[in-house]
């Protein structure tokens, strides 16, 4: 499995699935969430409304993930995950790790072989970019090694993922993620 970090716009990624740093309402918002909803078109909002009506009447829990079609996006799927918000006292590193691990598990369930992640919980949710990078990269390397079940109870390793790409909004963020990747590769 290839793990890489790039500077770019996640809504333009030609991968099987992109991850949306969603809020628990699943009804759109700012930042990555707003950009994905805008690019996917109104069908994404309708799919999310249906999820709220049927599976998540109280909203998607922090650390969980769920998939919808990508609609007008190049990616076939959008995997929505809700990161912990430090400003609300959600400071659990395991909840942050769960966002990445459950998204990978959902990707395997839907048959995705490539997945692109943003820096979930960085920015307006108050997590430091370096901490998000270390957590995300640790989960990706754990997934590749078959130890991701430490993060997602009841899930087994899915060998179907060929590419994990972290798509970052700035070059500085990309460098931070690349440093975390380099650190893991040196340790391997």
Q: Are 150 and 142 in contact (CB under 8 A)?
A: yes
- Alpha carbon 174 to its chain's center: 15
DSSP structural state of residue 61: P
Cα atoms in the Cβ-side hemisphere of radius 13 Å centred on 52: 14
| Cα–Cα distance list, 57 to 51, 80, 94, 136 (Å) | 8, 15, 24, 28
33 is catalytic: yes
Question: What sign for the dihedral angle of Cα 95, 97, 100, 103?
Answer: negative
State the catalytic residue, choosing from 9, 16, 33, 182: 33
What is the rounded CA–CA span in Å between residue 154 and residue 107?
15
Q: Are 176 and 133 in contact (CB under 8 A)?
A: yes
Q: Which residues have a catalytic role annotated?
A: 33
């Amino acid at each position: 499995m290839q793990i890489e970090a790039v500077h770019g716009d996640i809504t333009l990624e030609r991968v099987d699935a992109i991850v949306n740093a969603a809020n628990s309402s699943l009804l759109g918002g700012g930042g990555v969430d707003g950009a994905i909803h805008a690019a996917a078109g109104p069908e994404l909002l309708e799919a999310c409304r249906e999820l709220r009506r049927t599976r998540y009447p109280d909203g998607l829990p922090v650390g969980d993930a769920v998939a919808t079609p990508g609609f007008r996006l190049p990616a076939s799927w959008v995997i929505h995950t809700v990161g912990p918000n430090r400003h609300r006292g959600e400071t659990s590193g395991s909840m942050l790790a769960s966002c990445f691990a459950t998204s990978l598990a959902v990707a395997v369930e839907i048959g995705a072989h490539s997945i692109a992640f943003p820096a979930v919980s960085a920015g307006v949710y108050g997590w430091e970019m370096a901490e998000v990078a270390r957590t995300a990269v640790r989960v990706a390397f754990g997934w590749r090694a078959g130890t991701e079940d430490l993060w997602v109870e009841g899930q087994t390793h899915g060998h179907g993922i060929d590419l994990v790409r972290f798509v970052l909004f700035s070059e500085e963020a990309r460098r931070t993620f690349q440093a975390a990747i380099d650190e893991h590769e040196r340790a391997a």
